Structure 1
Amino acid sequence: MFQTVLAILFLYATNSNSEETTTQPDSEDEDSRTLDESIRLYGPFRNYVELGLPGPALTNVGLSVAQDAKFENDVSGNYSFEFRATTKYFVYIARYEKGELEMIGENSTLRVKGQFSETFKREKGGDYVKTVGYTIDENGYKTFLLDLSTVRIEYWVTKGIVHLVGLPTRRKMYISSVVLASLSGGNLG
């Protein structure tokens, strides 16, 4: 009887090892793939501060006091606008653009620089915020990668106080599942 059980376990183990298993990719692999794909599409990172662009400007939704939209226009043809998007947990600049009208001799040329951001889910939880910059001038429309941030929300409780951990202006925010469960009724079972 014992030998039969061992034989069955051996056959099960060898058959299950020979089958291809599917697992979720490691978050570093996922991050590397996403970064490589973004660089392939838009080229290497360019410094948004040096370009005079705001970048993603990630902010905790509870701490954000920024307007959802701003628009400025002067009488000389220059303009700028900014739209912020709000998710359940964070706010980011979804679109920014600045246009300046320049006189070159007797002709006027509009030079535009801007950025747009998109969010999409990470397989291991959280979100990506990809920010792409662009210029529009007499040489056409050109895009480039400005930022690829990962955002994961995690709360932790200490002495009854909920803390938000992360860098609210740039990279990461976290919320633990334990706190989320406790906020939604506390029943994990």
Structure 2
Amino acid sequence: MYELDASVTHSMNGLAGHSAAIDFLMIWLSAVGVPLMVLAVVVQWWRRADRSHTRHVLVGAGLSFLLGLALNQFILLFVHRMRPYDGGITHLLIAPSADPSFPSDHATASFAIAAAFLLHGMRRAGFGIAAAAGLIAFSRIYLGTHYVTDVLGGALTGILAAIIVRAAYRENTRIDRWVTGIL
């Protein structure tokens, strides 16, 4: 399995370095993709249409984001995967990271938000966010900082977090009405 993962990762990273514009776009997307996604979620707080449901989804997305990253920290207690550039699999286009490679926090965060939107029935926004999440995940492999399975594992962690939040944080409960009534 490792050989396949390393081979696919190497191939995807091999696309880098042929176009300065695409390299720049991937570096930019990797750096600002998740913060822009979070900002896009936050600004919807004041959206007028179906305000209470929208706010419930936004809180669910935020909780999914946080739970996904917390799950990653738990996984890191047991898994210490070397980055692909440290193993000579990829060439790195950005500064190296001191963190282990698995799972990808970028993939976790972005897919947690997308899954939260989709699980709460906001399909149009959810599919758009999922497409952005896919691009962010791809950028991490393209730049040489993650294996393919790192971003797949991160995506699964984010989706799992959204499922847990969807099951635990119910709409129109007392706490939900209090949180969604703020501002």
Q: Does TM, scored on the shorter chain, surpass 0.5?
A: no
* Larger Cα-atom Rg: 1
TM-score norm. by structure 1 comes to: 0.23
Higher strand content, 1 or 2: 1
Higher helix content, 1 or 2: 2
The structure, 1 or 2, with the larger RCO (C-alpha pairs under 8 Å, 6+ apart) is: 2
TM-score norm. by structure 2 comes to: 0.23
